[in-house]
Chains A and B, each alone.
Chain A
Amino acid sequence: MIQRYRASAGVMLAPAVTLIGIFILLPMLLTVWLSFQDWSTQTPFSSASFIGLDNFREIFGASSVGRDFKVALINTAIYTALSVILILPLSVAFGLMVYQHDVAGGTALRTVLFSTYMVPMIAVALVWSKLYSPSEGPLNQMLGLIGIGPQPFLSSPGSALVSIVFLNVWQQVGYFTVLAIAGLTQIPGSLYEAAKLDGANRFEQFRFITLPLMRRTLLFSAVIAIINAVQVFEPVALITQGGPVGSTNVLTYHIRRVGIERAQGGLGSAMAVMLMLSLIVVVCALFALANRKDQE
């Protein structure tokens, strides 16, 4: 009986497992294999030659290849950290605002917030590049009205990456607000009523009921926000081209430049493997932290 059950389970799982194997695991394994090869993306895989860890030595070395990779890795980490730090609290704050039953216009606000997520990135990039324009940009004109001089935004290595982060936060916060609202709906109203009877104020209700019970939602949001942020590509390709001085050169854009534009497939694969490993480490650390909190 158990054997028949196992066989039928295997048959039912086979299509999904095969598809995952072909379209997810195989490309990942191929990328790992290529990271140990000297290979031009314009030649067949058969032309690849094994060079051990040379690609990894190169990307962490002192040459321009290593320097550019390390800058791109740090830029990606900063972009991801800032995006998550801004998106999560904002999404909870907006979620609380929209979820209040006694506030009029909650549905309209929810629609407005989510609409930014539906706008194609090409449109967002075009509009924001003009908003940030140092000469005729509306942001600088508004700052001028309150006596603040023109800001360089995308034209300065000190502010270009942060400017791209704001663009990302603006576009993504609506989606994460919807996730936050979904988390809020899971919290029983009776807990708040009991807390009120015990004399808890709004802040205490938020601190001791809302936040702890939203932990799973926030963990999911954080993981998705990290994955989205690490994959940033369009605003960099459309607006800054990685500049100025490589300050917005993120890993996906850099891998495209190395692996496709320069056809250095082995180096590009080594960079992609490092990106994948970094992502796995961060996400695992996040889950481990959440599990430890649960156990406490």
Chain B
Amino acid sequence: MSFAWTSKLALAAGLAILPATAWAQSVNISYLTHWSPETVALLEAAAKDYAKTNPDVSVTVRAVPFGDLLTTLRSQGGGSDGPTIGGIYDLWLPELARDKLVAPAPDAVASEVKASWPAGITSAASVGGTLYGIPNEIDVYALNYNKALFKQAGIAAPPKTWDEFKDAAKKLTNKEAGQQGFGMINSWAAGVVHPFASLLVSNGGELVKDGKPALDSPQATQTFQLYEDLIKSGASVPAMATADANTTGPFLDNFVSGKTGMIIMANWWESALKTGMGKKFADIATVPIPVGPSGDKPHSISYSWMTVVNANAGAAEQKAAWDFLAWLNNPKSGKNGASAMSDILMSMGILPSRLSDIDAHKNKLGSEFLSGYVSVLTDAKPFPVVPGGQEFSESLQQTIEALQYGQVSAKDAQATAQADATSILERAAK
């Protein structure tokens, strides 16, 4: 065979193989999150590190406001072109799994998660015993208070009981200065419901018991009454409590500007507080939720987030996505034995949930702000993850907000909340 013929054959063979090779090697996956641009930049940097050893996989990150995250997942996750990976709130998982929008984790990933995460966190990422996501963050609620305002009001120590809490809220209130003792939140479902639920569990109650709403309990009566008392006494001002689509807004502005003495909030807002307060962040401390008259010891609500993979993505994309997530959450991908994911989470003040990550970050987790959250983790109760959970949350939000604005009494609010929750959970369970 002449050289010319050999060259032509080689070229033809090369051209024939080239598309197949390129198709086999190049996989594009996308990661949908609600994180801020700064945190997205950290995730993109981690994806670049991953690409060094996996040049055939390209990861792009998309961010939407928290308020649009579920809608985006639902509207785009039904197709193969939707986001390959999504960061989701555990409350959304049962319905996303029911609608087959999220893929079960491969056996290797499931075994790794079961061995490396606490059982409670693993169960929140599972439906019917099947693991659907890799847990990454855990959030827990505690009482944040402004030490400078406490000192001004002559309060020696943070409140440990509801009586002390009400007393402190009253002393911290200064109407002339536009200052409220305790800051509630409205216009944001989790922001309204989680602090309420934290007070409820710290009073020995529960939102849902054995799959059925338990808002008709005496403990719930006392919690609704506490809200009414705080509003009626003027110690909490609903007009100072509004949140916007980015979970910021007046409720945050009032706390960072020293107009709110106490607030019940989760650990993840450390970065927002630091940004808003600068040096005055040192005035903020964290303590457990005050114990109610029917409670035994401080409890609070916890919830987790996880990363899931689009069940409608192609097989190659799903495989690449799980591989990337396994790397991202592996203790070798970050610094000093921490995973790259936990390094990203800690930049926002968010507690990682992998056992090795908690150990690797133990120094930072011991800070005055975060240690208060770490201390309440053991006794925290997971927010109930049930079908219809999001609708239940939004409905309870409306009732609590109506109570905040004096549109209903504590007694009526409790009755409405229980009736609505019963109807919503029964319908969702069908």
Q: Which residues of A contact B (CB under 8 A)?
A: 40-43, 63-64, 68, 129, 133-136, 150, 152, 154-157, 237-246, 256-257, 260-263
Contact = CB atoms under 8 A, between A and B. Distances in A.
Given A63-B420, A244-B242, A244-B401, A136 B390 contact: no
Given A40-B99, A136-B253, A263-B99, A155 B405 contact: no
A42 B423 contact: no
A241 to B, nearest CB: 5
A213 to B, nearest CB: 45
A67 to B, nearest CB: 8
Contacts of A237: 67-68, 245
A245 B257 contact: no
A129 B253 CA distance: 13
Contacts of A129: 244
A64 B71 contact: no
A51 B250 CA distance: 44
B398 interface: yes
24 contacts: A63-B423, A64-B398, A64-B420, A68-B398, A134-B240, A135-B178, A135-B257, A150-B178, A155-B238, A155-B241, A156-B405, A237-B67, A238-B244, A240-B244, A241-B67, A241-B243, A241-B244, A242-B187, A243-B187, A245-B401, A260-B71, A260-B74, A261-B74, A263-B99
Nearest to A237: B245
Contact of B242 (A155, A257, A260, A261): A155
Contact of A245 (B78, B186, B188): B186
Secondary structure class of chain B's binding surface, majority of residues: helix
Contacts, number: 96
Contacts of B186: 243-245
A240 B71 contact: no
Interface of B: 67-68, 70-71, 74-75, 78, 95, 99-101, 178, 186-188, 238-245, 250, 253-254, 257, 259, 390-391, 394-395, 398, 401-402, 404-405, 407, 420, 423-424
A120 B324 CA distance: 38
A238 B64 CA distance: 12
Given A135-B250, A155-B239, A262-B390, A241 B423 contact: no
Contact of A134 (B187, B250, B407, B424): B250
A42 B405 contact: no
A239 B244 contact: yes
A240 B187 contact: yes
B391 A262 contact: yes
* 3 nearest A-B pairs in the assembled complex, by CB-CB distance: A243-B187, A42-B99, A152-B239
B71 A256 contact: yes
A238 B245 contact: yes
Counting chain B CB atoms within 10 Å of each CB, which of A42, A133, A156, A238 scores highest?
Answer: A42
Given A43-B99, A237-B67, A244-B186, A155 B390 contact: no
A42 B238 contact: no
A64 B242 contact: no
Nearest to A38: B430
A129 B95 CA distance: 33
B70 A261 contact: yes
B75 A64 contact: no
Contacts of B423: 63-64
Contacts of A134: 239-240, 250
A245 B407 contact: yes
Nearest to B398: A246
Q: Which of A63, A134, A256 has its CB near the most chain B CB atoms (within 10 A)?
A: A134
